[in-house]
Amino acid sequence: MIEIIRRLIMGGITLGLIAGNSDSIIQFYDDTTAVARQVATAGDLRTISLMLDYEFMKRGRLPREERFGRWLAKNFKENELKAVMVDHWGNEMTYLLSRDGKTYTLQSPGPDGLMGTKDDMARTGP
Protein backbone atom coordinates (compact mmCIF):
# COMPACT_ATOMS: atom_id res chain seq x y z
CA MET A 1 0.00 0.00 0.00
CA ILE A 2 2.74 2.43 0.94
CA GLU A 3 4.61 1.49 -2.23
CA ILE A 4 1.55 2.32 -4.34
CA ILE A 5 1.15 5.68 -2.62
CA ARG A 6 4.84 6.42 -3.09
CA ARG A 7 4.58 5.65 -6.79
CA LEU A 8 1.49 7.82 -7.13
CA ILE A 9 3.26 10.72 -5.46
CA MET A 10 6.35 10.28 -7.64
CA GLY A 11 4.16 10.07 -10.73
CA GLY A 12 2.33 13.22 -9.71
CA ILE A 13 5.57 15.08 -9.07
CA THR A 14 6.96 14.00 -12.43
CA LEU A 15 3.81 15.06 -14.24
CA GLY A 16 3.81 18.36 -12.38
CA LEU A 17 7.41 19.04 -13.29
CA ILE A 18 6.75 18.26 -16.92
CA ALA A 19 3.75 20.56 -16.98
CA GLY A 20 5.52 23.18 -14.86
CA ASN A 21 2.50 23.46 -12.59
CA SER A 22 3.51 23.44 -8.92
CA ASP A 23 -0.09 23.99 -7.77
CA SER A 24 -1.04 20.67 -9.36
CA ILE A 25 1.82 18.94 -7.56
CA ILE A 26 0.77 20.34 -4.21
CA GLN A 27 -2.88 19.44 -4.78
CA PHE A 28 -1.95 15.91 -5.89
CA TYR A 29 0.22 15.45 -2.81
CA ASP A 30 -2.49 16.79 -0.47
CA ASP A 31 -5.16 14.56 -2.04
CA THR A 32 -2.94 11.48 -1.89
CA THR A 33 -2.01 12.16 1.74
CA ALA A 34 -5.67 12.62 2.69
CA VAL A 35 -6.62 9.29 1.12
CA ALA A 36 -3.66 7.53 2.74
CA ARG A 37 -4.66 8.83 6.18
CA GLN A 38 -8.23 7.68 5.69
CA VAL A 39 -7.17 4.20 4.51
CA ALA A 40 -4.66 3.81 7.36
CA THR A 41 -7.20 4.89 9.99
CA ALA A 42 -9.79 2.50 8.54
CA GLY A 43 -7.18 -0.26 8.78
CA ASP A 44 -6.44 0.56 12.42
CA LEU A 45 -10.15 0.54 13.28
CA ARG A 46 -10.55 -2.79 11.50
CA THR A 47 -7.56 -4.37 13.23
CA ILE A 48 -8.69 -3.34 16.71
CA SER A 49 -12.25 -4.41 15.85
CA LEU A 50 -11.11 -7.87 14.76
CA MET A 51 -9.22 -8.32 18.02
CA LEU A 52 -12.27 -7.19 20.01
CA ASP A 53 -14.46 -9.65 18.09
CA TYR A 54 -11.95 -12.41 18.84
CA GLU A 55 -11.94 -11.42 22.51
CA PHE A 56 -15.73 -11.66 22.59
CA MET A 57 -15.71 -15.10 20.90
CA LYS A 58 -12.95 -16.40 23.15
CA ARG A 59 -14.11 -15.04 26.52
CA GLY A 60 -17.78 -14.24 25.92
CA ARG A 61 -17.30 -10.61 26.94
CA LEU A 62 -15.68 -7.39 25.81
CA PRO A 63 -13.27 -5.24 27.80
CA ARG A 64 -14.98 -2.61 29.95
CA GLU A 65 -14.33 0.98 28.90
CA GLU A 66 -12.24 1.68 32.00
CA ARG A 67 -10.05 -1.37 31.27
CA PHE A 68 -9.80 -0.83 27.54
CA GLY A 69 -6.40 0.87 27.78
CA ARG A 70 -4.94 -2.14 29.57
CA TRP A 71 -6.53 -4.48 27.05
CA LEU A 72 -4.95 -2.49 24.21
CA ALA A 73 -1.54 -2.54 25.87
CA LYS A 74 -1.79 -6.31 26.29
CA ASN A 75 -2.87 -6.97 22.70
CA PHE A 76 -1.03 -4.29 20.71
CA LYS A 77 2.42 -2.83 20.85
CA GLU A 78 2.61 0.94 20.64
CA ASN A 79 5.63 2.42 18.99
CA GLU A 80 7.42 5.72 18.91
CA LEU A 81 5.68 6.69 15.67
CA LYS A 82 2.03 6.45 16.71
CA ALA A 83 -0.11 5.45 19.68
CA VAL A 84 -2.64 2.70 19.00
CA MET A 85 -5.77 4.76 19.74
CA VAL A 86 -4.69 7.85 17.81
CA ASP A 87 -5.94 8.17 14.24
CA HIS A 88 -3.73 9.29 11.36
CA TRP A 89 -4.78 12.92 11.79
CA GLY A 90 -3.50 12.87 15.39
CA ASN A 91 -6.94 12.66 17.02
CA GLU A 92 -7.83 10.37 19.90
CA MET A 93 -10.17 7.54 18.90
CA THR A 94 -12.89 6.38 21.29
CA TYR A 95 -14.17 3.01 22.45
CA LEU A 96 -17.77 2.83 23.61
CA LEU A 97 -19.33 -0.27 25.12
CA SER A 98 -23.08 -0.88 25.04
CA ARG A 99 -25.00 -1.04 28.33
CA ASP A 100 -25.31 -4.81 28.10
CA GLY A 101 -21.58 -5.15 27.33
CA LYS A 102 -22.18 -7.20 24.19
CA THR A 103 -21.47 -4.62 21.46
CA TYR A 104 -18.97 -1.83 20.99
CA THR A 105 -18.27 1.14 18.77
CA LEU A 106 -14.79 2.33 17.83
CA GLN A 107 -14.76 5.89 16.50
CA SER A 108 -12.34 8.29 14.89
CA PRO A 109 -13.39 11.93 14.60
CA GLY A 110 -11.83 12.03 11.14
CA PRO A 111 -9.89 14.88 9.55
CA ASP A 112 -11.82 17.71 11.21
CA GLY A 113 -11.14 16.30 14.70
CA LEU A 114 -14.78 16.73 15.77
CA MET A 115 -17.05 13.86 16.75
CA GLY A 116 -20.55 13.87 15.31
CA THR A 117 -19.69 15.25 11.88
CA LYS A 118 -19.98 13.57 8.49
CA ASP A 119 -16.28 12.74 8.19
CA ASP A 120 -16.24 10.54 11.33
CA MET A 121 -15.16 6.95 10.89
CA ALA A 122 -16.66 4.15 13.00
CA ARG A 123 -16.61 0.41 13.38
CA THR A 124 -19.09 -1.60 15.43
CA GLY A 125 -19.14 -5.16 16.56
CA PRO A 126 -19.23 -7.95 17.10
Domains, the chain, ordered by start: 2-125 (3.30.700.10)
pLDDT tens over the chain, length 126 residues: 567 777 777 776 766 665 566 677 778 888 888 889 999 999 999 999 999 999 999 998 999 999 998 898 888 876 665 678 889 999 999 999 999 989 999 999 999 999 999 999 999 998
Bridge partners of residue 82, in order along the sequence: none
**% helix, strand, coil for the chain, step of 5:** 55, 15, 35
User: Is-contact 68 80, C-beta < 8 A?
Assistant: no
- What is the spatial distance between Cα 89 and Cα 109, in angstroms, rounded to a whole number? 9
pLDDT of residue 79: 64
Length of the chain: 126
CA distance 32 to 22: 15
Q: How many C-beta atoms surround the C-beta of residue 92 within 10 A?
A: 13
| Closest C-alpha among 79, 81, 55 to residue 68 | 55
pLDDT at position 18 is: 58
Q: Is the pTM of this model over 0.95?
A: no
